[in-house]
Amino acid sequence: MMNTPLTLVSLVERAEKYFPKKEVISRTLGGVQRFSYKEIGGRTRSLASALESLGVKKGDRVGTLAWNHHRHLEAYFAIPSMGAVLHTINIRLSKEHLSYIINHAEDKVLLVDADLLPLLENIKDELETVEAFIVMTDEETLPDSSLKPLYSYEILLDKADEKYTFSNKIAEEDPAGICYTSGTTGKPKGVVYSHRGLVLHSMAISLADTAAVSESDVCLPVVPMFHANAWGMPFAATWSGSTQVLPGPYPTPQLLAELIESEKVTITAGVPTIWLGLLNELEGKSYNTNSLRAILCGGSAAPMGMIRTFETKYGIPFIHAYGMTETTPLVILSRLKSYQTDLPEEEKLELRSKQGMVVPGIEIKVINENGEAKQDGKDMGELLIRGPWIADEYYKDERSTDAFRDGWLHTGDVATVDEEGFVKIVDRTKDLIKSGGEWISSVDLENALMAHEAVFEAAVVSVPHPKWQERPIACVVLKDGYHDTVTKADINRFLEPQFANWWLPDDVIFMEEIPKTSVGKFLKMALRKQVKEYMSLQS
């Protein structure tokens, strides 16, 4: 067969050539703008041409510090399609981590949103490799800034070649992108995405049995484009000629609900926190969300109660999924098998609240001290992943050997697999609670807590215990209006019928907020510290 390489060039060229009239709808601080793929294609070529004139060459890293909008989408294709490497930078990193990853990736040029300029101005003296800054703004004049040299994105594009020819010297194993994971400890770790990995991943999320991204879709990625390529949606949607709705800076639940209604969004993707916020927004108001065929949810476990409300109250199908920055990210996705659709509603919901089945192209196994875990939905073990869109190392990082061993990615997530092959993530290896020699899943307790009508969110952590080694403590944030009416005893009574006695938390702590990572996951380390302080005050 022909050795045609799998590269991102063909994705954007397909949109230009076969879907020139379809649109990308982009919200910036200047308002909502609409671009055809014909325009996006020309602008993407112009951006590549402009970067080339700034000295960017094959293999160079070009960073983006930006919200989800059309210019970010243009960077998604322009940079890899000229053979350079797209470094999407998490805008929520600390000052130290920000300068660390820009220096570690050796970014040559940075593209930055006007409102995010201060993040770079703060660290400009630490940056060792950056030769140019390009500000992505609708304004005609450049903002005042201490960053030098500073270029205007639009002025560069005006002078550039919109018929620029993308590189045909790209091998499919060549790097196309890099993204750093915002770990809870230590410095961020870089994950390099190859063209091959991103193309295969784009196919994988467009399969009829996965997210089924299609030309007829209107895709709204709420998950940031600086986080695991917005789960690959911008790549797949462009390839398919889908309409894309990019929600821009500071997307609020109200804004998302309005965009879903006005643009007739069919599929949207984000973390559970986003969907909790959207549910709150939908309650009591009368948005029309009939166009939605799927909410794709990953990043952390979706509480069953939330899935139930979206599906039964609003009729919006909810697709639970699992992945990591290291996995491009999609590896596991929940869809019922055809013979499961006749199961009783509660059993289906139980299945749907699992992360689901491994997608075609990827292999998983779950291992514990006895070898491969039994496929019985109970036997727990660490989830291992292998496949052509899974990283095989962290970029120039000694910590690679912990996670990548024997040809498998060791995720650090604890999972069960049931008879039907449905995976359930029960915990992080480091968050599992070992009480009296037995494991307690903090995630199971959290999901149960979050099903309580008064609970907005809940996290469970372990504390050291003289007799049992570790014991669980529940940290609960109540919904507005429940602060005076719900007690620790209420919470305990709610949990009692659902768990073995020894699983029940030793204490329930009511909090204003649970600390989270920059991508919205519970920051259990910080929470454990808070709990420890609280408990020492009590004793």
What's CA 305's distance to the chain center, in Å? 21
Is 388 a binder of a second copy (CB under 8 A)? Answer: yes
Kindly report the number of other CB atoms within 10 A of residue 250's CB atom. 9
**Annotated catalytic residue 326:** yes
Lookup: tokens for 409 = 């990615």
258-283: burial string, b at 16+ Cβ within 10 Å, e else: ebbbebebbbbbbbbbbbbbbbebbe
SS3 311: helix
Burial label, 456 (beta-carbon count in 10 A; 0-12, 13-18, 19+): middle
Residue closer to a second copy by CB (options 170, 391) is 391
Is 204 a binder of a second copy (CB under 8 A)? Answer: yes
| One residue of 179, 213, 301, 455 binding a second copy per CB under 8 A | 213
Beta bridge partners of 333: 321, 357
Site for a second copy in 405-464 (CB under 8 A): 407, 409, 420-421
Site for a second copy in 4-23 (CB under 8 A): 4, 6, 10-11, 14, 17-19, 21-22
Among candidate residues 39, 264, 439, 532, the one labeled active-site is: 439
Residue closer to a second copy by CB (options 16, 107) is 16
What's CA 119's distance to the chain center, in Å? 22
Residue closer to a second copy by CB (options 54, 212) is 212
Residue 240 main-chain phi, psi, to 5 deg? -80, -10
The 161-180 site mask, x for binding a second copy (CB under 8 A), equals: ------------x-------
Smallest distance from a second copy to CB 322, Å? 15
Is 363 a binder of a second copy (CB under 8 A)? Answer: yes
Is 361 a binder of a second copy (CB under 8 A)? Answer: yes
| One residue of 28, 240, 300, 441 binding a second copy per CB under 8 A | 240
Strand 218-221 versus strand 267-270 pairing type: parallel
Residue pointed to by tokens 């480091």? 430
Question: Which uninterrupted H or E stretch holds 321?
Answer: strand 318-323
| One residue of 219, 333, 391, 519 binding a second copy per CB under 8 A | 391
Residue closer to a second copy by CB (options 120, 211) is 211
| One residue of 215, 444, 490, 507 binding a second copy per CB under 8 A | 215
Lookup: tokens for 400 = 């690679």
Smallest distance from a second copy to CB 441, Å? 24
Is 339 a binder of a second copy (CB under 8 A)? Answer: yes
Side-chain half-sphere exposure of 252, counting CA atoms within 13 A? 4
Q: Which stretch binds a second copy (CB under 8 A): 117-125, 197-205, 245-253, 492-500?
A: 197-205
Measured CA to CA, the distance from residue 268 to residue 206 in angstroms comes to: 14
**Annotated catalytic residue 434:** yes
| One residue of 37, 389, 394, 522 binding a second copy per CB under 8 A | 389
Smallest distance from a second copy to CB 217, Å? 8
| One residue of 123, 203, 279, 463 binding a second copy per CB under 8 A | 203
| One residue of 161, 392, 444, 507 binding a second copy per CB under 8 A | 392
| One residue of 77, 193, 226, 314 binding a second copy per CB under 8 A | 193
Burial label, 339 (beta-carbon count in 10 A; 0-12, 13-18, 19+): exposed
Among candidate residues 252, 434, 438, 496, the one labeled active-site is: 434
Pick the closest to residue 298 from 290, 285, 309, 307 (CA basis): 307
Q: Are the C-beta atoms of 332 and 321 separated by less than 8 Å?
A: yes
Q: 3-class secondary structure for 72-96?
A: HHHHHHHHHHCCCEEEECCCCCCHH
Residues that bind a second copy (CB under 8 A): 1-4, 6, 10-11, 14, 17-19, 21-22, 173, 192-194, 196-197, 199-200, 203-204, 206-209, 212-216, 239-241, 328, 335, 337-339, 357-358, 360-361, 363, 386-392, 407, 409, 420-421
Known catalytic residues are 181, 326, 434, 439
